[in-house]
Amino acid sequence: MRGVGRWGFPVLIGVLVVLHFVLRIGLGLGALAPDLLVVAVLLAARRMRAGNAAGLGFALGLLEGAMVPMQFGASAFVLVLLGFFGARTRDLIASDSAVFLAFYLFAGKWLFDVLLAVVTGGIFRGSVANLFFLSPLEAIYAAAAGVVAVAVYRVAE
């Protein structure tokens, strides 16, 4: 990798993580801001080994869970799984196109919501409707934000 150097992509991931916490929690935007944490884990997983991606998911999940105490541990577990499987998709699909990226981020974010609902028990407390109506919308939002971020990175690269 030339241009932004070998640290360009890690910086992108770091910026996404910081933006996630600043927008969602620091400024109190909540769901109005896209879930850039999941986007960061999914994008990083495409360029890391499964174990490392799982570790990244664990670390970011700890940070996310610290701000939402009811999900402490649950976010970490789900992001570990997401990182692991995200890294595994590299073996199945090598494409790096914007279409694939959008689909990949959409599926990854939706899967995150489903797994989180299962692990926290929310799925048994009546949030199934949200998984079919609200979550896809949030997944589209996250996918769009991720595609834009990668596009900006590639321009800078």
Partner 1 sequence: MLAGVFAALALLLLILPGQWRSQLADGIRGTVLRPVTALQRGALERDLRLADPSRLRAERDSLAAYLVDTAGLLAENQQLRSLLGLQQRLPATFLPAEVVRVPSRAMDGIFRLTAGARDGVAAGAPIVGASGLIGMVRSVDQNGAVGIDWTNADFRASAMTADGDIFGIVEPRRGPGGEPMLALTGAAFHAELAENTLIVTSGRGGVYPRGIPIGVVAGVDEEEGGWQRSYLVRPTVSPAEMAYVLVLGPRDPSLMGRDLAASWGITVTEPAAVDTTQLGAEPPPLTAPAPRAPAQPAQQQPALLGRPIQPGAAPANPDTATQPGGTG
Give me the residues that bind partner 1 (CB under 8 A), please. Answer: 21-22, 25-28, 50-55, 57-58, 61-63, 65-67, 69, 72-74, 76-77, 80-81, 83-84, 119
Smallest distance, partner 1 to C-beta of residue 84, A: 4
Gap between the Cα atoms of 43 and 116, Å rounded: 19
Smallest distance, partner 1 to C-beta of residue 56, A: 9
| Whether the Cβ atoms of residue 70 and residue 120 lie closer than 8 Å to each other | yes
Residue whose token pair is 């073996």: 91
Gap between the Cα atoms of 156 and 149, Å rounded: 11
Smallest distance, partner 1 to C-beta of residue 155, A: 29
Going by C-alpha positions, the residue among 10, 27, 44, 39 that lies closest to residue 141 is: 39
Of residues 38 and 74, the one with the C-beta less far from partner 1: 74
Smallest distance, partner 1 to C-beta of residue 68, A: 9
Question: For residue 73, is it left (φ>0), alpha (ψ between -120 and 50) or beta?
Answer: left
Smallest distance, partner 1 to C-beta of residue 62, A: 6
Helix H segments across the chain? 8-20, 36-45, 50-67, 74-92, 98-120, 128-156
Of residues 116 and 147, the one with the C-beta less far from partner 1: 116
Of residues 52 and 130, the one with the C-beta less far from partner 1: 52
Of residues 8 and 73, the one with the C-beta less far from partner 1: 73
Of residues 57 and 146, the one with the C-beta less far from partner 1: 57
